[in-house]
């Protein structure tokens, strides 16, 4: 049984409140175990936390605080704090109201100042602060529908589309999204149950299986791409590129570590968490990736109607090319991506989105990322976690510092340094000053010449092992809002200096 602590955080101090309160933070371990341990506070020693006292589920949101004993914070031997916490959203039991509560508490914490981040008395359990992140995405639940069995209105694009739409309207799909936790596994189980039911009614096994694989590939292409690009020609070509990577991993190399269990295993490839990050446990909790998004009732009359309407339009735009890419011949691949050699097309298994890569700041000195550290000012302690800082002069066993805030707007980073912890000294054990490797303008391959650079990103370690490609598509452009009449346009994705997407062929 999970123990959910309730405590008073940030006890009043004689000092006037001067520093930001700890933010609402979320338990998150990418592609890690669903359950994250917490520990007895009185068992923490210099060697580590000891045996777990219990677990909390990824996606649980908490307000952290520092346990202070004998004038010092509770840390391991290297200065990493173990933090007390108040559970705000328990992912295991969260319902539709969790999103509003998340937003309200997050906003309240942003506007609050305190003297320190000390816990109240009686804290029994603590978490490893390195599993906590200050994230701005609330839990995602599909709006409740008044008529779940509504019949299909739009004309299906062939038999596979008809099967996919029937699945999205089924009770199996709806049940897979009732809980916040375990949606990836629940969707797979829902498809299995749906297919068993359809086979029992005489459905063709091959067509049913292909429909499931197509559904998975399109879900990945829609959510891996940039939703704001909508039905623009670039957005559609971006999705085609993602589909091409899925196709080549399932029909070409079929490697187990990339999720392929048998030739044509688009489901396994497209939903491999380590390869397509959007299938991670926490990320499925904050997106509509596993939702029944093709149900037409979702596109009107609710607070997420615009989101679902756009997903439906993007799906319909991408479906014809998806069929050719996944199930067609090499000749059909060349028709979707003209002007590229077949050998390059079939060897493209990797890509990356430069804006989503790790931020780096080569024009600023002494920038450090603090996954979790303690700063001290006299008897007051502050938690510095999931935060970038600029390290200042050394004071005793630590350093003065300023927070580095980054607002990524369009094609540039708005960077500011804020001294919100005046007088506080961050623990010197957590400061490495090692610099950053593979940091390039806009996250593009080395050698690009930009007149002005307003964003830097790290590049993947495998970049030099492959060949950057330029992929050209001709698609019916309906604009970013997906509301325009289709106009056939040409779009190019990739090339050494594309700052949005980098397809790379030949990486093994």
**What is the domain range of residue 31?**
19-133
Using only C-alpha atoms, the chain has a radius of gyration, in whole angstroms, of 25
298 with 179, same domain: the answer is: yes
Domain-located, residue 400: no
51 with 100, same domain: the answer is: yes
190 with 96, same domain: the answer is: no
128 with 163, same domain: the answer is: no
What does the pLDDT read at residue 227? 94
What does the pLDDT read at residue 12? 45
If one counts the domains in the chain, the total is 2
For residues 262 and 249, is the Cβ–Cβ distance under 8 A? no
What does the pLDDT read at residue 146? 61
Residue 93: Cβ within 10 Å count: 14
User: Nearest CA to 384 among 6, 22, 41, 12?
Assistant: 22
Residue at which a domain ends, from 323, 356, 389 = 356
Domain-located, residue 297: yes
pLDDT values of the chain reduced to their tens digit, one per residue, 508 residues: 344 333 334 444 444 558 999 999 999 999 999 999 999 998 887 777 889 999 999 999 999 999 998 899 999 889 999 999 999 999 999 999 999 999 999 999 998 999 999 999 889 999 999 999 999 999 999 987 665 544 555 678 899 999 999 999 999 999 999 999 999 999 999 999 999 999 877 668 899 999 999 999 999 999 999 999 999 999 999 999 999 999 999 998 899 999 999 999 999 999 999 999 999 999 999 999 999 999 999 999 889 999 999 999 999 999 999 999 999 999 999 999 999 999 999 999 999 999 999 999 999 999 999 999 999 999 999 999 999 999 999 999 999 999 999 998 878 999 999 999 999 999 999 999 887 888 999 999 888 889 899 999 999 999 999 999 999 999 999 999 999 999 999 999 998 799 999 999 999 8
What does the pLDDT read at residue 3? 40
Identify each DSSP E strand in 108-156 by its residue range. Answer: 113-114, 125-128, 132-133
Domain-located, residue 146: no
116 with 253, same domain: the answer is: no
342 with 264, same domain: the answer is: yes
The backbone region for 98, taken as left when phi is positive above 0, alpha when psi lies in -120 to 50, beta otherwise, is alpha
243 with 323, same domain: the answer is: yes
Give percent helix, percent strand, percent coil of the chain, each to the nearest 5: 30, 25, 45
Give CA torsion, residues 190, 193, 196, 200, to 10 deg: -120
What does the pLDDT read at residue 367? 95
Q: CA 423 to CA 405: how far, in whole Å?
A: 19
Give CA torsion, residues 98, 104, 106, 112, to 10 deg: -150
Residue at which a domain ends, from 356, 387, 414 = 356
257 with 313, same domain: the answer is: yes
Domain-located, residue 221: yes
Domain-located, residue 248: yes
What does the pLDDT read at residue 409? 82
Domain-located, residue 343: yes
What does the pLDDT read at residue 153? 57
Tokens of 336: 């979707």
Domain-located, residue 484: no
211 with 94, same domain: the answer is: no
Domain-located, residue 479: no
Residue at which a domain ends, from 356, 378, 398 = 356
For residues 240 and 340, is the Cβ–Cβ distance under 8 A? no
128 with 248, same domain: the answer is: no
275 with 352, same domain: the answer is: yes
346 with 217, same domain: the answer is: yes
């Amino acid at each position: 049984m999970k123990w959910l602590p309730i405590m008073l955080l940030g006890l009043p101090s004689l000092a006037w409140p001067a520093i930001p309160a700890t933010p609402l933070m979320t338990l998150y371990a990418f592609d890690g175990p669903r359950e994250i341990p917490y520990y007895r506070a009185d068992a923490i020693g210099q060697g580590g936390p000891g045996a777990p006292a219990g677990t909390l589920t990824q996606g649980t949101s908490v307000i952290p605080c520092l346990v202070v004993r004998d004038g010092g914070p509770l840390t391991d031997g290297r200065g990493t704090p173990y933090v007390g916490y108040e559970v705000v959203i328990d992912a295991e039991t969260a319902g539709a109201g969790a999103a509003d509560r998340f937003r309200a508490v997050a906003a309240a914490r942003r506007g609050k100042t305190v003297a320190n981040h000390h816990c109240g008395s009686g804290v029994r359990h603590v978490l490893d602060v390195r599993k906590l992140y200050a994230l701005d995405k609330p839990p995602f639940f599909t709006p409740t529908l008044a008529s779940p069995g509504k019949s299909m209105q739009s004309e299906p694009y062939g038999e596979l589309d008809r099967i996919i739409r029937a699945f999205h309207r089924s009770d199996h799909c709806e049940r897979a999204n009732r809980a916040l936790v375990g949606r990836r596994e629940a969707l797979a189980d829902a498809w299995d149950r749906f297919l068993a039911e359809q086979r029992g009614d005489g459905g063709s096994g091959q067509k049913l299986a292909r429909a499931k694989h197509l559904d998975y590939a399109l879900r990945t292409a829609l959510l891996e791409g940039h939703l704001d690009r909508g039905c623009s020609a670039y957005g559609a070509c971006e999705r085609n590129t993602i589909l091409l990577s899925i196709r080549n991993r399932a029909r070409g190399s079929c490697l187990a570590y990339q999720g392929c269990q048998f030739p044509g295993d688009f489901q396994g490839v497209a939903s491999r968490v380590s390869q397509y990050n959007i299938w991670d446990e926490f990320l499925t909790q904050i997106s509509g990736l596993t939702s029944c998004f093709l149900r037409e009732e979702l596109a009107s009359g609710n607070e997420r109607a615009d989101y679902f309407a756009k997903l439906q339009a993007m799906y319909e735009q991408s479906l014809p090319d998806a069929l050719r890419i996944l199930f067609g011949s090499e000749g059909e691949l060349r028709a979707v991506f003209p002007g590229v050699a077949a050998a390059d097309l079939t060897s493209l298994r990797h890509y990356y989105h430069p804006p989503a890569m790790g931020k780096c700041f080569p024009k600023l000195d002494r920038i450090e990322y603090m996954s979790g550290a303690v700063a001290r000012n006299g008897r007051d302690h502050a938690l510095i976690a999931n935060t970038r800082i600029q390290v200042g002069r050394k004071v005793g066993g630590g350093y003065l510092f300023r927070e580095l805030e980054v607002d990524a707007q369009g094609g540039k980073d708005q960077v500011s340094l804020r001294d919100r912890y005046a007088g506080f000294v961050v623990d010197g054990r957590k400061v490495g000053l090692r610099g950053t490797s593979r940091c390039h303008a806009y996250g593009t391959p080395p050698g690009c010449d930009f007149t002005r650079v307003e964003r830097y990103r790290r590049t993947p370690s495998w970049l030099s092992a492959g060949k950057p490609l330029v992929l050209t598509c001709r698609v019916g452009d309906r604009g970013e809002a997906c509301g325009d009449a289709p106009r056939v346009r040409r779009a190019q994705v990739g090339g050494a200096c594309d700052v949005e997407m980098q397809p790379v062929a030949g990486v093994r």
